[in-house]
């Protein structure tokens, strides 16, 4: 009887060893499959000049440091966390900034970035809860505490490669990265955005290469399905809620035939908070955009076609300094959206996969 029990114990001890060997076999098989997949991808890349060009751009960005992007003279606007929310709206609008670093004067440190996205979230919350009058009393610190926003700032130093900066923007889903002086952590030298990196690429590289003449339709960089839109009659508050929920920087305005009429973007949001009573958020978006802060300036709605080349779209976005292009057909119907973020992510993510 004792011998049988001993045999059972032996079998139980042997079973994990068997499972271990089986696991090792499965792991080896998966590793081999992954290796074959990577080899296949590399072979496809070698055959496709466009894929090779994307990897070349990534390699180019690895050779250059972010200090190259810092101008000799740059204006940095900083907001104190003790500032009432209403005043932060005015600060962004007056300086025409989309984002600024937040400074905790009590603890002498940066605690994050304050952006137009925060403005949208603030307006949606306080208007929906009928507390819009409290914006003059509630501070940035109060708001961040209520939303449980972490008190930290994610930045880079001047020696960071442009590729690493772009990869961090993509990985963290950020739109900007402060460049912090390594000798003085309380000093922000500059704030780098996707646009700065794109302009560097456009300025430094020859984009007439045949590989970059493929259309954005062929490449698939434009979003052509499940497009987020709004109509002229939609109240501003509802447009802001869409922007907040979908985490987008702007939204195209279309008519009943999906013809592109206008767009409502971050600059319109900052304009609204200084040119309108904040209780007017039920105003139709079409009326709001008619009262833009600089109505005397010629307004142009920038568009492209899905058959435009990738190179032309890169150059157009870089030269215009915009964050998106709307794709339209010959009847001006909306067919897609090309965002600056998607364009930059398009080659940095692929390059990282190969690395």
Nearest residue to 188 (alpha-carbon basis) of 156, 220, 142, 144: 156
Kindly report, residue by residue over 227-271, the tens digit of the pLDDT: 999 999 999 999 999 999 999 989 999 999 999 999 999 889 988
| 3 state DSSP class of 153 | coil
For residues 182 and 242, membership in a common domain is answered with no
What pLDDT score does 9 carry? 45
Residue 53 forms part of a structural domain: no
How many independent structural domains does the chain possess? 3
Compute φ and ψ for 350, nearest 5 degrees. -65, -40
What pLDDT score does 355 carry? 44
For residues 81 and 192, membership in a common domain is answered with yes
For residues 110 and 215, membership in a common domain is answered with no
Per cent of the chain over pLDDT 90 is 63
For residues 182 and 256, membership in a common domain is answered with no
Strand partners, 103: 80, 110
- C-alpha R_g of the chain: 26
**What does the DSSP assignment read for 66-121?**
GGGGS-SS-----EETTSBHHHHHHHHHHHT-SEEEEEETTTTEEEEEEEHHHHHH
Provide the residue range defining the domain that includes 255.
211-340
Residue 37 forms part of a structural domain: yes
335: CATH = 3.10.580.10
Residue 6 forms part of a structural domain: yes
Kindly report, residue by residue over 103-136, the tens digit of the pLDDT: 999 999 999 999 999 999 999 999 999 999 999 9
The answer to whether the CB of 177 falls within 8 A of the CB of 155 is: yes
pLDDT band per the 50, 70, 90 thresholds, residue 13 = very low
pTM: 0.81
Residues 19, 16: Cα–Cα separation, whole Å: 5
């Amino acid at each position: 009887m004792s011998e049988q029990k001993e045999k059972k114990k032996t079998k139980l001890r042997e079973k994990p060893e068997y499972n271990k060997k089986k696991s090792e076999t499965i792991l080896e098989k998966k590793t081999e499959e992954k290796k074959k997949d990577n080899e296949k991808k590399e072979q496809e890349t070698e055959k496709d000049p466009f894929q090779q060009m994307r990897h070349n751009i990534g390699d180019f960005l690895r050779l250059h440091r972010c200090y190259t992007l810092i101008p000799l003279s740059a204006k940095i606007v900083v907001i104190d966390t003790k500032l009432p929310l209403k005043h932060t709206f005015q600060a962004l609008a007056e300086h025409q900034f989309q984002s600024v670093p937040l400074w905790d004067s009590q603890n002498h440190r940066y605690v994050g970035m304050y952006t137009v996205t925060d403005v949208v979230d603030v307006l949606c919350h306080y208007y929906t809860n009928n507390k819009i009058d409290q914006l003059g009393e509630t501070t940035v610190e109060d708001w961040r505490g209520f939303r449980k926003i972490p008190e930290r700032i994610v930045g880079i130093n001047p020696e960071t490669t442009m590729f690493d900066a772009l990869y961090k923007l993509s990985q963290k889903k950020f739109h900007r990265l402060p460049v912090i002086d390594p000798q003085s952590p309380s000093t922000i030298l500059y704030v780098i955005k996707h646009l700065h990196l794109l302009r560097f690429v456009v300025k430094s590289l020859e984009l007439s290469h045949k590989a970059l003449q493929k259309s954005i339709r062929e490449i698939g960089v434009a979003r052509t399905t499940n497009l987020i839109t709004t109509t002229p009659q939609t109240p501003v508050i509802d447009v802001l809620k869409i922007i907040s929920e979908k985490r987008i920087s702007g939204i195209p305005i279309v008519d009943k035939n999906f013809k592109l009429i206008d767009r409502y973007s971050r600059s319109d949001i900052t304009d609204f908070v200084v040119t309108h009573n904040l209780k007017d958020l039920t105003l139709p978006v079409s009326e709001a955009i008619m009262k833009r802060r600089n109505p005397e300036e010629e307004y142009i709605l920038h568009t492209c076609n899905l058959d435009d080349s990738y190179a032309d779209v890169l150059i157009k976005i870089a030269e215009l300094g915009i964050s998106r292009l709307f794709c339209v057909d010959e009847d001006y119907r909306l067919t897609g959206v090309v965002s600056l973020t998607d364009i930059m992510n398009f080659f940095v993510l692929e390059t990282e996969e190969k690395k």
